[in-house]
Structure 1
């Protein structure tokens, strides 16, 4: 009780002395309902550009066809391998999809590190490293004598003309391996495996982690036709009517579209909500001018946005007695996990001060209140922006199907959504506000990036078998 009274005391003091000045710095981080509705409309317009054949080449939201034509129906079965490349660790999995109509998936997996010298080196060496890890796993699991179907989760923008082909458009999330952009990553993996001359695999599919998330949840809920990643990166996929996808022939049925929505705004269409703090983060990134929406919404960047605001507030004498420590000057020091911890409702001001002290920041209780306010503004904006993008997609699906009311499930994965104390709630509230005629259920994915690739491979095998029988 004493802690509550103490916090109220400091808050009232802060309100008298500083709150108006702090609010001026955070004003552009706060998005009105009208602004969010406008962003939703802009995103919808960019989606349409990406789907259209004439405008797709220059579209910021790429709307990439994945050639995934169906979600699991429960009849899939067999043994599959899955590779998951797209973050700080690389993973190899053996996945058994149950038989006899039972929806059950059994997995064994092994993590391998992805050192900076590998992900920022030569592309040939990157895929040789992947093949080395695969060989190690297959030896451990006694699988080298089998030619198993394999699905590759490759969590970077790829242009596909088939399910088993993926031409890398550009790296994201800190990867910078040379001689990969414009190349078919499946071919690069096949060649690396061939050079080892130890085993053979049937590479059936290359998929994005977002698609894997949708498929994993679709295995449990046939109503799941959207996948969302809200973690280190940010992306969305959904099942689109073939008649709306001008880049692919055929007008029957559906296909999963990987929106690659992180590029929303790269053409300047959201410059009016782009702040000077976003500019600082963008200019210090590995890909300046690209993935602007992702840089406002994903875990890789939120902590750095907070740090930029804290520096500005300190320069104005509103934080840390006006003293900018060397630690605060260090790019990347304010990790998004600290932002999540600071925003926890259960965290007393004293604990917030301890976190700031761990970062080398000598703070007062007043400083802790200001830092908490900054963290809240940055994460709330991120969740609302994600919500606006998702609302555009569900509203499009409702209109395309001519429905008064749409019921749909979104499969979700990512540490920001799962671990941040308020992100998921704000995102869901935003979708409900912007798309009131859509009843959206959110379903947490269990290992979408690993299990999902195997399930996509299993579905592809099922459809291949059905074609043969017909």
Structure 2
């Protein structure tokens, strides 16, 4: 009876393969310069160009904001005989009034927690590099900048969307004035997870989160990324797949319950895939189904209680408890009794079945979108059979007794020509943010390598034959000598190209006492002029 009732939530392999093809199209649109502005799946470049290779070392701080709690980690990576990682973690609460208040309050809170952590670690006098795992969609043009596109999940702080979170955090730290921090990288939690797992397994090229929210990143070929200059090598792409379906492409598989969840959420019409899959919404989906079934007399002899009608009363952790193989039915009785519905044994079996259908659908949907990424990696490499590792993190994947097994099984069925290893990220994505920073530490050998490559590039730029294709252009300036002391006169100099536009008056007097007198004035150039027409500039 329940199978019939929830028929629309049971997705056949045929449907899953179709969803996989749809997501692959969405990925292509997100990567293309022409289609990205209207694409639902944003495919954001992260400026992370490689996974850890084992040579990283140093002392770092990592902040992790965006999941069920806010964490701060100190990560020490050393090389005695072999590479070791030492970690110390502190978890801080983020109250709802801060999540929904002003951006200033939110970042003051983060800066306060960081101060407390540094005090406990006795490192307030040190200026350690900080990696910031920020689990929300951000536009980046470099590693140490993240412009928030939109809040998702439980967050809704005002004045942050459209702003750079690094600038906001730096401002909050400066305002305190009791410590100094150098925020060198902003990474999404998927990227942090991929980097963390990449530290243990060099084959890891996908990061996957299935927790409060859901998202994935993977290493894409630069030649496919229209939004970033250059064709060489790879870059990690943050897919932001939670927004899959925001343009209507999943309407045929969304149910009345999905629509009801969306209507009651903080961000209606957004993150529609996430709302069908992630931990923030799963318990609520089950509750809405139970209410409708009870109203139709299919459960609890039609009994409906105020508790059952209260949003948020049935949580995702309850779904996990009810689906445990041995004590699941007892847990169902316990949880339903707390909701006041006096369940029979048959009711408990039915509720367990509803939980299974909802969580199984979630695993199946994630397997489809993950399958699309795996197919993309396989095609990029031009191999018949892909061998790769997926780094995974998130409370739903970790806590639900059947989720991981179902996800692995469906993924392997949908992409039979891939050998996929799933690696659980032991320390979350924070360690990965530190690993991203460690990528900046170059060995003497690496520096010599850079010197050698630069020399080759310079030579290519200077030669007529190779100049066209050279990356380093070596442009002639028609300046033929350096000053020799005979220069004399008054000159105006314009200086355009940095942050400001400067005009200088330079008076040069030669003779016994050579003097140079300079007067300058700085003019700001508004962004709309910089990015307007040439005439305006």
Q: Which residue of 2 aligns with 1:75?
A: 55
TM-score by length of 2: 0.82
CA shift, 1:460, in A, is 2.9
Write the distance in 2 (CA, Å) between the matches of 1:81 and 1:466.
Answer: 25
Q: Of the candidates 335, 343, 349, which is equivalent to residue 369 of structure 1?
A: 349
Structure 1 pair 464–415 and aligned structure 2 pair: CA distance change class (3 A)? farther
Write the distance in 2 (CA, Å) between the matches of 1:425 and 1:228.
Answer: 15
Secondary structure at the counterpart of residue 341 of structure 2: coil
Check the 8 A contact 1:30/1:381 in 2, yes or no.
Answer: yes
Write the distance in 2 (CA, Å) between the matches of 1:378 and 1:401.
Answer: 35
Q: Which residue of 2 aligns with 1:147?
A: 127
Secondary structure at the counterpart of residue 38 of structure 1: helix
Structure 1 pair 415–189 and aligned structure 2 pair: CA distance change class (3 A)? same
Residues 380-395 of structure 1 mapped to structure 2, 5 A cutoff: 380-395=360-375
Q: Which residue of 1 aligns with 2:333?
A: 353
Q: Which residue of 1 aligns with 2:509?
A: none
Check the 8 A contact 1:123/1:177 in 2, yes or no.
Answer: yes
Q: Of the candidates 113, 116, 119, which is equivalent to residue 99 of structure 2?
A: 119
Check the 8 A contact 1:410/1:442 in 2, yes or no.
Answer: yes
CA shift, 1:101, in A, is 6.1
Check the 8 A contact 1:75/1:101 in 2, yes or no.
Answer: no
Structure 1 pair 309–104 and aligned structure 2 pair: CA distance change class (3 A)? same
Check the 8 A contact 2:67/2:213 in 1, yes or no.
Answer: no
Residues 378-457 of structure 1 mapped to structure 2, 5 A cutoff: 378-457=358-437
Q: Which residue of 2 aligns with 1:5?
A: none
Write the distance in 2 (CA, Å) between the matches of 1:160 and 1:102.
Answer: 34
CA shift, 1:429, in A, is 1.4
Q: Which residue of 1 aligns with 2:218?
A: 238
Check the 8 A contact 1:103/1:219 in 2, yes or no.
Answer: no
Q: Which runs of 5+ in 1 are unaligned?
A: 1-18
Structure 1 pair 348–44 and aligned structure 2 pair: CA distance change class (3 A)? closer
Deviations 1:365-396 (A, max 9, x none): 11111101111110010000000000000011
Deviations 1:38-84 (A, max 9, x none): 00000000000000011111111110111011111111111011111
Structure 1 pair 262–101 and aligned structure 2 pair: CA distance change class (3 A)? farther
CA shift, 1:348, in A, is 5.6
Residues 100-115 of structure 1 mapped to structure 2, 5 A cutoff: 100=80, 102-115=82-95
Does residue 54 (structure 1) correspond to residue 24 (structure 2)? The answer is: no
Q: Which residue of 2 aligns with 1:306?
A: 286
Check the 8 A contact 1:74/1:101 in 2, yes or no.
Answer: no
Of 127-136 and 271-280, more deviation after overlay is shown by 127-136
Q: Which residue of 1 aligns with 2:207?
A: 227
Deviations 1:115-151 (A, max 9, x none): 1111111101111111111111112211121111110
CA shift, 1:452, in A, is 1.0
Q: Which residue of 2 aligns with 1:190?
A: 170
Deviations 1:405-441 (A, max 9, x none): 0100000111211121211111111111111111100
Secondary structure at the counterpart of residue 367 of structure 2: helix
Does residue 200 (structure 1) correspond to residue 200 (structure 2)? The answer is: no
Structure 1 pair 448–462 and aligned structure 2 pair: CA distance change class (3 A)? farther
Write the distance in 2 (CA, Å) between the matches of 1:326 and 1:232.
Answer: 26
Secondary structure at the counterpart of residue 286 of structure 1: coil
Secondary structure at the counterpart of residue 49 of structure 2: coil
CA shift, 1:199, in A, is 2.0
Structure 1 pair 464–270 and aligned structure 2 pair: CA distance change class (3 A)? farther
Pairs aligned (count): 450
Write the distance in 2 (CA, Å) between the matches of 1:386 and 1:141.
Answer: 39
* Structure with greater Cα Rg: 2
Aligned CA RMSD, in angstroms, stands at: 1.5
TM-score by length of 1: 0.93
Q: Which residue of 2 aligns with 1:179?
A: 159
Query: Between Structure 1 and Structure 2, which shows a larger proportion of helix residues?
Result: 1
Secondary structure at the counterpart of residue 6 of structure 2: helix
Structure 1 pair 465–200 and aligned structure 2 pair: CA distance change class (3 A)? farther
Write the distance in 1 (CA, Å) between the matches of 2:79 and 2:329.
Answer: 54
Q: Which residue of 2 aligns with 1:10?
A: none
Q: Which residue of 2 aligns with 1:85?
A: 65
CA shift, 1:353, in A, is 1.2
Of 245-254 and 139-148, more deviation after overlay is shown by 139-148
